[in-house]
Amino acid sequence: MRKRNFKLKLLLGAGIILFTLFNYYSNSDANQFTGKTQHISMEPQEEIAIGLQSAPHMAQQHGGLYPDQKFQALVDRVGQQLVNSSIAAQSPYKFDFHLLRDSKTINAFALPGGQIFITHALFARLENEDQLAGVLGHEIGHVIGRHSAERMAKEGLTQGLLSGVAVGFDPSTAQGAAAIANAINMSYGRDDELESDNLGVKIMIDAGYNPMALIGVMKILKSAAGPNRTPERMSTHPDPENRIEKIKEAIQEYE
């Protein structure tokens, strides 16, 4: 009886894994901006809806929007200049740019569908408009690269595979699979950052901004992280020095 139950669990686990793999790989599309084949099940309109729904909550987490409309107007102007003068204008996304009140967290990020945020802590450290364009161009790169949608699809794949392993195999195997999955997802995150840097350089050049300013942004981020920053192998972000080298290569490619 125990042997029969084990076989049933094994078959069930294998079925979950096969279904998960089929569902993931059957949704395949080439990204027109990167040329990369992506496995994403949602449509751009769904990404836009997710971003719009999440934006107020994300702003609230960072103390709300920055009250000085002069600075917000600058962020809007630079962001729209980047979008309207680059490949981003060919995308189906509706871009909105938000300056957050947060004066401690040095960060910028993009939600699916075009909602882009920069904290005042990072904004205040930037030295010129070109650096602001570098930050926003990088985040636009995340949107047109569809990185959030791709990450959600990969997380669905990971969870489905882990469910199948947990059902059909022993817990230690499942724990090992989870550790491997986490390592893979961190690698995907680093690849996304480098791709967004590359797209950001192209977007900056197309909009008339100096792409070398993005290197200055990397130096600001490195300085802000200090000597105790997380090693690259344990982080979703590449080391700033590695990013600088890739940015230089992108500048040579697009100029």
Residue 39 has what pLDDT? 84
Which tokens sit at 102? 């947060």
Give dist(CA 253, CA 255) in Å, integer.
6
Domain count, the chain: 1
Written as tens digits, the pLDDT of the chain (255 aa) is: 556 665 666 666 666 666 556 566 667 788 999 999 888 888 999 999 999 999 999 999 999 999 999 999 999 999 999 999 999 999 999 999 999 999 999 999 999 999 999 999 999 999 999 999 999 999 999 999 999 888 887 776 667 666 656 655 554 554 544 444 444 444 447 889 999 999 999 999 999 999 999 999 999 998 887 665 544 433 456 778 889 999 999 999 998
Residue 189 has what pLDDT? 75
Residue 139 has what pLDDT? 96
Structural domain contains residue 243: yes
91 Cβ contact partners less than 8 Å away, ≥ 6 residues apart: 33, 44, 143, 144
Structural domain contains residue 9: no
Give dist(CA 181, CA 154) in Å, integer.
10
Residue 193 has what pLDDT? 93
Structural domain contains residue 3: no
116 Cβ contact partners less than 8 Å away, ≥ 6 residues apart: 79, 95, 96, 97, 98, 108, 109, 110, 136, 139, 140, 143
Structural domain contains residue 33: no
Give dist(CA 173, CA 35) in Å, integer.
36
Phi, psi at residue 199, to the nearest 5°?
Answer: -65, -40
Residue 146 has what pLDDT? 94
The kind and range of the H/E element at 52 are: helix 44-61
Residue 10 has what pLDDT? 63
**Structural domain of 223:** 44-254
Structural domain contains residue 16: no
Structural domain contains residue 186: yes
Structural domain contains residue 37: no
Residue 150 has what pLDDT? 87
Phi, psi at residue 50, to the nearest 5°?
Answer: -65, -45
Contact at 8 Å (CB) between 166 and 135?
no
Structural domain contains residue 114: yes
